[in-house]
Amino acid sequence: MNHPNDLDKCWRCKLCDSKFGLEVVKNCTPEEDTQCACAKNYFCSPAGCDSCMQCTICESGVIEKQCTSASDTVCGKKEPETLWWVIALVALVALLAIVGAIWWYKRKQKGLTINEHLNNGVYKPEPYESVLLIDTDADLSNHIPGIVAEMTLAEVKKFVRHNNVSEPAIDQSIQDCHGDTSEQKIRLFRDWYQSHGMKGAYGTLISSLRELKMCAAADKIEEKLKAAISSSQDGGRSYNPDTEQSKTCTQEGRSSYNDNAELSKAYTGSLEET
């Protein structure tokens, strides 16, 4: 009973029935009745808060105003821009797929020899051009001293690091040839060449140098290899600086031998006359 009275019995406490969406806010006491309110996701019905109604669930997924104990949910319409976002996302995925396909195709073409490019019609030289074809699988083992001669030691290190030669291997090559810069460059380049293999090594060499902004070295090496391979094709053998030096020495030896032979012949004739 919540007021002074002369009644002979008390009122019964109110029941907050969860079936009607009610929950207890404050328990009943001898001086005050139970206080009920709408439970979560329920709101007061137009007839009053003796019973509550369940909040509306927006099928569009767009809620303009959340449900409260005194008012229902206010739903909104699905914005047309959502569809444009979906279209834009699909277009972006398609663009990425196209870019990836182009990148894969270029990587595949990079592994082809120039002769294969000619057969596929990718590279078409002008009729008046004299084009020297270099096979990307050409053997570079005999040309290593000539290649590294066009590069500094720092450039050789940068090149081999770029092509996945480990730091321990680099350090070992430097230590093995301590004080000999030329031999260090040769050893470093040979380490890369042995790990890479002959296939595609020429293409990797030139493209890597250009990618590392060492275009001058790339041009010189390319010209040197063209000349060496052209000489090899004409002479039926690979170009080797040591071989060229031996050839020069041999020619000089032959000249010296011929001169000595002439002198000997003249001297013998003089003796006969005597």
Tens-place pLDDT, residues 151-186: 999 999 999 999 999 999 999 999 998 889 999 999
Q: Which residue has the higher pLDDT, 103 or 124?
A: 103
Supply 130's token pair. Answer: 């004299």
Supply 265's token pair. Answer: 């012949």
Q: What percent of the chain stands above pLDDT 70? A: 72
Give bridge partners of residue 91 from the DSSP assignment.
Answer: none
Q: State the Cα–Cα distance between residues 208 and 165, nearest whole angstrom.
A: 14
Q: pLDDT digits over 177-193, tens only?
A: 888 999 999 999 999 99
> Could you give the count of Cα atoms lying within 13 Å of 160 in the half-sphere of its Cβ?
28
Q: pLDDT digits over 61-105, tens only?
A: 788 899 988 888 899 877 665 677 788 889 999 999 999 999 888
Q: Which pLDDT belongs to residue 134? A: 64
Total residue count of the chain as it appears in this document: 274
Q: Which residue has the higher pLDDT, 236 or 253?
A: 236
CA distances from 45 to 33, 55, 159 (A): 21, 10, 79
Show the CA angle centred on residue 148, arms to residues 145 and 153, nearest 5°: 130
φ, ψ of residue 97 to 5 degrees: the values are: -65, -40
Q: State the Cα–Cα distance between residues 262 and 33, nearest whole angstrom.
A: 142
Q: Which pLDDT belongs to residue 111? A: 57
Give bridge partners of residue 29 from the DSSP assignment.
Answer: 32
Q: Which pLDDT belongs to residue 82? A: 63
Given a cut of 60, whether residue 137 has pLDDT beyond it is: yes
Given a cut of 60, whether residue 244 has pLDDT beyond it is: no
265 confidence band (pLDDT: 50, 70, 90)? very low
CB neighbours of residue 230 within 10 Å: 13
Q: Which pLDDT belongs to residue 257? A: 38
Supply 115's token pair. Answer: 């002769």
> Once rounded to an integer, what is the mean pLDDT over residues 209-229?
90
Given a cut of 90, whether residue 270 has pLDDT beyond it is: no
Query: Could you give the 3-state DSSP secondary structure of residue 163?
Result: coil
Q: Which pLDDT belongs to residue 216? A: 92
Q: Which residue has the higher pLDDT, 11 or 108?
A: 11
In 3D, which of 151, 238, 146, 160 has the Cα closest to residue 204? 160
Q: Which residues contact 143 (CB under 8 A, 6 or more apart)?
A: 224, 225, 228, 238, 239, 240
User: Where does the chain show beta strands of DSSP type E?
Assistant: 22-26, 35-38, 42-45, 48-54, 63-65, 74-75
Q: Which pLDDT belongs to residue 80? A: 62
Supply 191's token pair. Answer: 């380490």
> Once rounded to an integer, what is the mean pLDDT over residues 246-271?
41
Given a cut of 80, whether residue 259 has pLDDT beyond it is: no
Q: Which pLDDT belongs to residue 232? A: 67
CB neighbours of residue 146 within 10 Å: 18
